[in-house]
Amino acid sequence: MFKGAMVAIITPFKNGKIDEKAFRELIEFQIANGTDAIVPCGTTGESATLTHEEHDKVIEITIEAVKKRVPVIAGTGSNNTAEALRLTKHAYEAGADGTLIMCPYYNRPTQEGLYQHFKVIAESVPIPIIPYNIPSRTGVNLLPEMVAKLSKIKNIVGIKEASGSIKQMSDVIDLCGKDFAVLSGDDIFTLPLLAIGGAGIISVVSNVAPADMAGLVDAFFAGNLVKAKSLHYKMSALIDALFIEVNPTPVKAALFLMGKIKYEYRLPLCKMSDANFEKLKKVMTNYGLI
């Protein structure tokens, strides 16, 4: 159902508020450069520091701005199942094409608790759901056997895999079958994951180089492995630079350097160190982005 190069889009701020104008321009930039889906209110979108009202607004703006040109997969995760359910219902009613729901963080549920969390939401809201497995942030790893169990629920259609393990991704693909979309949550794993049967990437680097990430995925699916491999290596240093500090700190700095947003975060995130900012600037210059 969901396939290709999708952007985990940032949320731009201006004077402490959502910069709607800049956000709409970022969406147009993505669509013009071949991005296959827009994913607002994820980790990269600083969802943890958005109020509930802001969260709803960002999703509504995205849906309205996209105008069905590409799918909108709304981030609706929480460590509180009732809250995640409310966010998911809102996304469905607002017209999102799917939702991305991270594993509950901090409370570290068991595998059965994870299953029940996603099952309750999926059975309550008739929208395609993609669980998001990112153990480095949540403290829990949604294991392949549990993903396979979840895949039997009709509207759980894929997973965003950011465990950092290509073996785990391979196991999920093997257990869940070809109709279940395994999407990378790590830019550097895009090509390796595609090579073993993955469906695409929910990307951070697409925020700044959408045409190259879309080009890599499109080339792979067209059978042009030479081009796909070339773009993989082209983006390697840029990917490293965009994770030199915790995401989305560098990617927002990069978009600032490109003149697309204000250099602004919500605490506890803050501006990059001067040394890392200069390193990022050098990579961006060498890449031709600034």
Q: Is 167 helix (H, G, I), strand (E, B) or coil?
A: helix
Spatial contact of 191 and 214, defined as CB atoms under 8 Å apart:
no
Got the DSSP string for 27-68?
HHHHHHTT-SEEE-SSTTTTGGGS-HHHHHHHHHHHHHHHTT
For residues 219-247, b (16+ Cβ closer than 10 Å) or e, as one string? bbeeeeeeebeebbeebeebbebbbbbeb
Q: Is 184 helix (H, G, I), strand (E, B) or coil?
A: strand
Residue of 92, 149, 160, 265 marked catalytic? 160
Q: Is 160 a catalytic residue?
A: yes
Q: Is 132 a catalytic residue?
A: yes
Got the DSSP string for 196-217?
TT--EEEESGGGT-HHHHHHHH
Give, as one character, the DSSP assignment of residue 273: P
Tally of residues, the chain: 290
- Closest CA relative to residue 221, chosen from 81, 34, 52: 34
Alpha-carbon distance of 38 to 199, in angstroms, equals 15
Close Cβ partners of 169 (under 8 Å, ≥ 6 residues apart): 161, 163, 182, 184, 189, 193, 196, 198
Amino acid identity, position 245: E
Residue of 132, 149, 252, 265 marked catalytic? 132
Spatial contact of 87 and 124, defined as CB atoms under 8 Å apart:
no
Alpha-carbon distance of 124 to 213, in angstroms, equals 34
Residues recognised as catalytic = 132, 160
